[in-house]
Amino acid sequence: MVEIAPLLRVLLVWAQVLPNSTRRAAETPGLGRGVVHCKLMHDMITLKAFLGVIRAPFLLLSITLVASGAAASAYDGAFQWSRTLLALVGLVALHAAVDVLNEASDMRSGIDLRTQRTPFSGGSGTLPSGEMTERTAWLIGYGAFALGAACGVWFLVQVGWHLLPIFLAGAVCILTYSDLLAKTGVGELAAGLGLGALPVVGCAMVQDGSLGPAAVAVSIPALCMTFNLLLLNEFPDEVADREGGRRHLVIRFGRKKAAWIYAAAAFATPLAIVAAVVLGALPPVCALAGLPSLLLVRPLRWVFGDPQEPVPVPALGANVTWNLATNLALAATLVAAAW
């Protein structure tokens, strides 16, 4: 019978020795293929680091966008489970890609070394902590983008090339967000499109190639909410982003005006839902999807108070919950109306 204690001692010794010896070997010149092998071992990541750098909890947004887009298409008369699930895989992969590429870019620019992290802003801290190398993050980001792009190519072939403008616009938002769009004052709009309106419209169109009025109506609040999701999270990072070359709305217009822009987009969300109901694009039951906007009491209290003060963490949390809850409420009410 094998003794467990000696084995545990051996494993503990190896756990301490192997990372150091691997790193030394990777840094020693003239070792040929051994250097590559050791370098790969050194770049191995933990599940915790992987989930951190892809910002796993925030990927829930993609699920709610696919749900609302597919539900809108079902209400308009078209729905396929297989295409909906493939759209979900593709969107989650692309969402993870933009998260990882942004983390890698912020590490390269030094932004993530200066941010004051909250549960909702300031990056995951995975790269600054050394849990993952910047090189590995770039590989994961572009790998996730390739997976999402592969799903898009399948839809182009199977559904139609009229989807191409939507996919190209989404690709531009993902690949240029950190190093271009966020530095030219359109990062929030790009987020609202790339992780708001375009996924809703795209998920509806992949069902049978058509775009109904319900999907268009649902895409408008999705744009406003994701726009605000990013905007509010930029306030805590203002100083670090300014030093890192970012030019988002908080930096361009100042905290007070940017807070008013946030309030405008917040009020526009339930108004867009009610307007779509009045115009007949959405069924009357969808008016209930305006109720999650009551969660905005905390962020709006900060807006109408003193935006020069730090955004309270509960307000940041309420902003996220409002976004997810509204998308899910739209999906649920559309499904109820369809059946």
In order, the DSSP letters of 253-309 are HHHHHHHHHHHHHHHHHHHHHHHHHHHTSS-GGGGGGGGGGGGGHHHHHHHHS-TTS
Burial class (CB in 10 A: 0-12, 13-18, 19+), 80: middle
Here the CATH number for the domain that contains residue 142 is 1.10.600
Q: Is 45 inside any structural domain?
A: no
Q: Is 1 helix (H, G, I), strand (E, B) or coil?
A: coil
What confidence score (pLDDT) does residue 7 get?
33
- Residue 180 CA to residue 57 CA, distance in Å, equals 26
- Residue 200 CA to residue 73 CA, distance in Å, equals 9
Structural domains counted in the chain: 1
Q: Is 26 inside any structural domain?
A: no
Q: Is 317 inside any structural domain?
A: yes
Within 10 angstroms of residue 301's Cβ, the number of other Cβ atoms is 12
What confidence score (pLDDT) does residue 44 get?
63
Per-residue pLDDT of the chain (339 residues; tens, 9 = 90+): 333 333 334 333 333 433 344 344 344 444 344 434 434 434 567 999 999 999 999 999 999 999 999 999 999 999 999 999 999 999 999 999 999 999 999 999 999 999 888 988 988 999 999 999 999 999 999 999 999 999 999 999 999 999 999 999 999 999 999 999 999 999 999 999 999 999 999 999 999 999 999 999 999 999 999 999 999 999 999 999 999 999 999 999 999 999 999 999 999 999 999 999 999 999 999 999 999 999 999 999 999 999 999 999 999 999 999 999 999 999 999 999 998
Q: Is 13 inside any structural domain?
A: no
Domain range enclosing 285: 53-338
Q: Is 261 inside any structural domain?
A: yes
Q: Is 324 inside any structural domain?
A: yes
Q: Is 41 inside any structural domain?
A: no
DSSP for 33-81, written as a single string: HHHHHHHHHHT---HHHHHHHTTGGGGHHHHHHHHHHHHHHHHHT---H
Q: Is 35 inside any structural domain?
A: no
**Structure pTM?**
0.85
What confidence score (pLDDT) does residue 116 get?
85
